[in-house]
Amino acid sequence: MRRRTFLAGTATTAATALAGCMGGGSTGTLATKVSDQPGDIGDFETLIIHVTTVYVKPTDGERKSFDVDQTVDLTKLTGENTALVGEQELATGEYEFLQLQAEATEAKLKSGGSADVSTPGEAPLKFNKNFEIRANQTTTFVADFTPVQQGQTNRYVLQPVADEVKVIYEGEGGSGNQTNSS
């Protein structure tokens, strides 16, 4: 009887340990979209940006990054329009923020000239919005930013628009009108 109890206990412990090794990390999908709220976007005929990298910071871990390599025209993303720039499978859990590494590749003003568009300090755009990755679901993070003119020059800085950042969980609402990435 003792041997049987010992063997049953050992088998249970081994099964639990094996399950922990094999099935401990459930995942969900992060869909990252961009949008542009009014601001100085009305100055542009086209404002094409290249998003190269998405960074996320788990609450209990180190910042992670993944390459996306997408180009979008911000002039087509006003109002509720969005463009998908990347989807990535991530570990479930809470995340503190999302950052986008983006640069303008073409900036034509309606006045006929071109503009110099950059990010603050040439750093990734940071969106301080907590979000959750849920098991086997898609979390959509809509990062909203706009160009802001610097004085009376043709220089603009892309700025995050904190009030317009949205996190949408699968089954909990729409995500705006999707446009195709260029």
Going by pLDDT thresholds of 50, 70 and 90, the confidence category of residue 173 is low
Q: What type of residue sits at position 140? A: T
Q: What is the enclosing helix (H) or strand (E) of 61?
A: none
Q: Per-residue pLDDT tens for 20-32?
A: 333 357 999 999 9
DSSP secondary structure, 23-59, as one string: HS--EEEEEEEEE--SSGGGGEEEEEEEEEEEEEEET
Q: Per-residue pLDDT tens for 64-105?
A: 999 999 999 999 998 889 999 999 999 999 999 999 999 988
Task: Please state which of the ranges 31-35, 59-63, 160-164 shows the lowest mean pLDDT.
Answer: 160-164
Residues 6+ apart with CB under 8 A from 50: 69, 70, 71, 102, 103, 104, 105
Q: Is the pLDDT of residue 7 over 50?
A: no
| Span 24-41, average pLDDT | 87
Which residues partner with 177 through β-bridges? 81
Contact 50, 70 (CB under 8 A): yes
Contact 88, 30 (CB under 8 A): yes
Contact 66, 88 (CB under 8 A): yes
Contact 182, 73 (CB under 8 A): yes
Write down the H helix ranges in the chain.
2-23
Residues 6+ apart with CB under 8 A from 42: 110
Q: What is the pLDDT of residue 6?
A: 35
Cα Dmax for the chain: 90
Give 8's Cβ-side CA count (13 Å radius).
5
CA dihedral (174, 65, 74, 122) in degrees, to 10, reads 140
